[in-house]
Amino acid sequence: MYNVGLKNKTILITGVAGFIGSFLAKRLFETIEGVKIVGIDNMNDYYDVKLKEARQEELSVNKRYVFVKGSIADKQLITSVFEQYRPQIVVNLAAQAGVRYSITNPDVYMESNIIGFFNILEGCRNYPVEHLVYASSSSVYGNNKKIPYSTEDKVDNPVSLYAATKKSNELMAHTYSKLYGIPSTGLRFFTVYGPAGRPDMAYFGFTNKLLAGQTIQIFNYGNCKRDFTYIDDIVTGVINVMQKTPDENENGVRYKVYNIGNNQPENLLDFVDILQQELIRADVLPEDYDFEAHKELVPMQPGDVEMTYADVDELVRDFGFKPSTSLREGLRKFAEWYKKFYL
């Protein structure tokens, strides 16, 4: 692997007002000397824009931060950003997220996840970069029966359009690495959670509903397992990866994909149980809250999978790192943040 120094570099982060993007930018400013960050985000209203604005505000106090409002699907904009700022490292986190939303709104997935990513690849090709790191997803594994999921597994059976677009990103990155020598690393994230996270994620949505006295639906009658990965662990993983480009593989391509997951799937019912305990502890919900009256076990949703479980051996081998934050610790930090931000 080749080392890539981040000190005094210009880094382009797409989706910078998003959950992972904002945490990544913040950590880079805290830990890397002289780093300059150019952030792009279209600030869409897929979820509460106030949350994106709050994340953005926190970043904007830094003098080495430039924010560009716009879509990565806008080719002219992306070309001008590469032309003007000449980033040495690109981290593509902009994407239309969510499995269920892709069933009702397929167009935005094609626009952001396919056309947008193509524009980023073209930028890296025309204004050569030292490393392209991009977000893939655990959803590419579909209903793979082999557990835990390894990057060696075949991923030809996506069960949602979102998953199909993420698999396409990996294929497109491979092609550009082969044709134009762009060193690229894809990261298959496993259920990222934490403070200031995405309101469409279960833990956040459950909290909103419980607070409003509504019923929460637990899919597949609670027989789902998820490899929940805390945001700080994800960011540490991304920064580690940014600093090392892949060796050439057997096809002569500097291209690699890693899983970033907690390597420890949690049952949804246990997850809900810990969440409710932490919401009471943080004083978000009263001690005598009747959870049983607000829980409903329902069948599996289309596009969902029963289990996600990351094999992170390669991550450990190449970077000496694996996520380690316990679910209770992560949900505690979320509950405390929620109390401060919303109540």
| pLDDT higher than 90, residue 302 | no
Q: What superfamily does domain 2-190+231-262+309-324 belong to in CATH?
A: NAD(P)-binding Rossmann-like Domain (3.40.50.720)
Specify the pLDDT at position 61: 95
Question: What is the per-residue burial (b if ≥16 Cβ within 10 Å, else e) of 328-343?
Answer: eebbbbbbbebeeeee
Specify the pLDDT at position 21: 98
Q: What is the rounded average pLDDT of the residues 201-229?
A: 93
Q: What is the rounded average pLDDT of the residues 5-17?
A: 98
Q: What share of the chain is helix, strand, coil (3-state, %, to 5)?
A: 45, 15, 40
162 is annotated as an active-site residue: yes
List the domain boundaries for the chain. Answer: 2-190+231-262+309-324
Specify the pLDDT at position 211: 95
What are the distances in angstroms from CA 294 to CA 3, 30, 156, 159, 222?
A: 51, 41, 38, 30, 14
pLDDT band at 222, cuts 50/70/90?
A: confident
Specify the pLDDT at position 74: 98
Helix or strand (DSSP H, E) at 225:
strand 225-226
The whole-angstrom separation of Cα 132 and Cα 101 is 27
Query: Mean pLDDT across the chain, nearest whole number?
Result: 95
What are the distances in angstroms from CA 72 to CA 101, 300, 320?
A: 19, 33, 33
Q: What is the rounded average pLDDT of the residues 184-207?
A: 95
Catalytic residue among 101, 141, 162, 230: 162
Q: What is the rounded average pLDDT of the residues 293-305?
A: 87
The whole-angstrom separation of Cα 158 and Cα 4 is 33
Specify the pLDDT at position 133: 98
Specify the pLDDT at position 102: 86
45-55 per-position pLDDT tens digit? 988 899 999 99
326-343 per-position pLDDT tens digit? 999 999 999 999 999 999
Specify the pLDDT at position 99: 79
Specify the pLDDT at position 250: 87
What are the distances in angstroms from CA 91 to CA 37, 102, 267?
A: 11, 23, 32
The whole-angstrom separation of Cα 71 and Cα 81 is 12
Specify the pLDDT at position 103: 86
Specify the pLDDT at position 27: 98
143-177 per-position pLDDT tens digit? 888 999 999 999 999 989 999 999 999 999 999 99
The whole-angstrom separation of Cα 189 and Cα 137 is 5
| pLDDT higher than 80, residue 303 | no
